[in-house]
Amino acid sequence: MKRFSTSRWWAVVRKEFLQLRRDRITFAMIVGIPIAQLLLFGYAINTEPKHLPTAVVVTEPSEFTRSVLAAMNNTGYFDFVEQLRSEDAARAALARGDVKFVVNFPVDFTRRLLRGERPAVLIEADATDPAAAGAALATVGQLAASVARKDLGGPLAPLAGGGAAPFEVRVHRLYNPEGLTQLNIVPGLMGVILAMTMVMMTGLAITRERERGTMENLLAMPSTPLEVMTGKIVHYVFIGLIQASIILLAARYLFDVPVVGSVAVLYVVALLFICANLTVGITLSSLARNQLQAMQLTFFYFLPSILLSGFMFPFEGMPRWAQAIGAVIPTTYFMRAVRGILLKGNDWAELWPNIWPMLLFTAVVLTIALRFYRKTLD
């Protein structure tokens, strides 16, 4: 048995350091992952989002309605982005996800307030994500007292007396009235699971062919890069649809997630999302030189997909730069679409703002994959 040699040991150590220096993807992962996690968890994650888009339905603006809106705006949770004409328009805006809250004043609000009849102000909230809506709704309980202190003085002081608030604030939590987290998390899991498995499986497709030595057979065939790439991912489409079916059945019968919308529409949207992630996987497979690099690139893609898509943390609570990154990821739009179909009953008109970004993403990424497809083994 040979004795331990320091020189031979040092030669092995130098060789490993040299190999690490040449493997740029591994080095980037060693440095980049801790930095990315620090930035995301330190700056981008916020469980109490503020400045949430809010609409108002008011037919007779007055000093009192303006005071109510100003009091809500001062909390920092509500940003009034538009004024709607009717309750139907308000419900449509909530269904599309354009706004998170709608403040609805009755037609005779001011007159009834001055008569001491305690009219009701209705605040409708999109409660599909209880974490995003809960903190904001907790602040509306003091609205009546705030308006009373500001506007009900002098001759109107008796309206604020007697211990009763001058008006009532009613809150309706739509789509998830009980604030159950599983109604938000379980539909989002469909996006996370499909993104992880589809990208991972296809990310190894071409690199596995190279390492096994069977890539030569594909290169020898009179097939175009588009034919090779699409041919290698078709069977994964069926695997993805099977996974979507399993998740949907579990959501319905294990977690009691309602299915308000069309299941057929849900499958079409899932098919678009599966294709988007398969193009990502095949692109990473074209860029990587081996299966290890393919796995590393897959992890790089998956980290922002789970953290910046609105799955774990409210999307509206992230800073603008984090939302800009999340807006590029198809998982963000798929989660909105799935929650819209299952909880809101959204149809094509409401889903289109989340569908066209996935179509555009698929086309762009497939173009990149074709650009980097190597027709030789070197």
H helix intervals, 288-315: 291-307
Whole-number Å distance between alpha carbons of 215 and 202? 15
In this predicted model, which residue has the larger pLDDT, 141 or 120? Answer: 120
- Per mean pLDDT, which range of 219-233, 285-299, 331-345, 350-364 is the poorest? 219-233
pLDDT for residue 317? 77
Q: Is residue 27 in a domain?
A: no
Overall domain count for the chain:
2
Task: Please say whether the beta carbons of 46 and 318 come within 8 A.
Answer: yes
Same domain for 311 and 326, yes or no, is: yes
Q: Among 108-117, 121-130, 330-339, name the most confident range.
A: 330-339
Whether residue 151 is found in the same domain as residue 201: no
The helix/strand/coil state of 25 is helix
Q: Is the pLDDT of residue 285 over 90?
A: no
Asked if residue 243 and residue 153 are part of one domain, the reply reads no
Which residue segment(s) compose the domain that 68 sits in?
52-174
Is the pLDDT confidence value at 147 over 90?
no
Q: Could you say which DSSP state residue 54 is in? A: E
One domain for residues 164 and 204? no
* Measured distance CA(327)–CA(306) in Å, rounded: 13
Indicate the residue among 174, 208, 231 that finishes a domain: 174
Q: What is the pLDDT of residue 336?
A: 93
Instruction: Based on the fold, state whether residues 162 and 188 are members of the same structural domain.
Output: no
Inside any domain, residue 187: yes
Element containing residue 252 per DSSP (H, E): helix 225-253
Strand partners, 83: 56
Q: Is residue 132 part of a domain?
A: yes
Coil vs helix vs strand at 210: helix
* Higher-scoring residue by pLDDT: 263, 25: 263
- What radius of gyration, in Å, describes the C-alpha atoms of the chain? 27
Helix axes 263-287, 291-307, angle to 10 degrees: 140
**46: in domain:** no
- End position of a domain, from candidates 141, 174, 207: 174
> Is 134 in the same domain as 271?
no
Task: Flag whether pLDDT at 280 surpasses 80.
Answer: yes
Q: Does one domain contain both 282 and 362?
A: yes
* Mean per-residue pLDDT of the chain: 81
Q: In terms of domains, do 153 and 209 share one?
A: no
Full-model pTM: 0.82
User: What is the DSSP code string of 115-176?
Assistant: TT---EEEEEEE-SSHHHHHHHHTTGGGHHHHHHHHH--GGGGGGG-TTS-SSEEEEEEES-
In a domain? residue 97: yes
DSSP element (H, E) containing 80: strand 78-84
CATH number at residue 92: 3.40.1710.10
- Statement to judge: residues 188 and 277 lie in one domain: yes
Task: For 112, list phi and psi in degrees, rounded to 5.
Answer: -70, -35
| pLDDT tens-digit readout, 162-201 | 556 777 888 899 998 888 888 888 888 999 999 988 888 8
343 and 275 in a common domain: yes
CA dist 75 → 49, 146, 356 (Å): 12, 11, 35
Rounded to whole angstroms, the Cα distance separating 190 from 270 reads 9
Which of the 8 DSSP states describes residue 48?
S
- Say yes or no: 253 and 309 in one domain: yes
| Residue at a domain's end among 174, 205, 230 | 174
Instruction: Identify whether 11 is part of a domain.
Output: no
Q: Say whether both 168 and 199 belong to one domain.
A: no
Which residue has better confidence, 369 or 148?
Answer: 369
Rounded distance, CA 249 to CA 333, Å?
22
Q: How far apart are CA 288 and CA 193, in angstroms?
A: 23
